[in-house]
Amino acid sequence: MSSLPLRIATRQSALALWQAGHVAQRLRQAHSGLVVELVPMTTRGDQVLDRPLAEIGGKGLFLKELEVALLEQRADLAVHSLKDVPAELEPGFALIAVLARADSADALVSNTHATLAALPRHARVG
């Protein structure tokens, strides 16, 4: 196997770093000896916090800097939250893999109960 690392471009947010780290771990499990390196970066979407996304460019604001890193060969692939990816990608880019979805039943949002334990006995959620 090549000694050059596989470089994964990712946003610097905690969620993005976790997602990219998870992909790196899965790649290492599938390819023994593979060296994977995260390339964290800040995007325009991370920087402009005082205006709605639709007003400043939409979902693509979280991708542009990562796409530039790919074009400039500073990264070999990028990991994104699918919610941040526009329906149509820029020419030359492709969505090549999507991991299986994790259990989506991991959150409770309530304006009356602070914890699961605070729910009434036999409460139904969902």
| From 46, 76, 84, 103, the catalytic residue | 84
Residue 119 CA to residue 125 CA, distance in Å, equals 10
Average pLDDT of the chain is: 88
- What integer pLDDT is reported at residue 106 of this predicted model? 67
Nearest C-alpha neighbor of 28 from the set 6, 55, 59:
6
Q: How far apart are the first and last CA of the chain?
A: 48
Res. 67: pLDDT tops 90: yes
Catalytic annotation present for 84: yes
The C-alpha atoms of residue 126 and residue 121 are separated, in whole angstroms, by 15
In a domain, 37, yes or no: yes
Whether 42 is in a domain gets the answer yes
Domain count, the chain: 1
Q: What domain range includes position 48?
A: 6-118
pLDDT band at 59 (very low <50, low <70, confident <90, very high): low
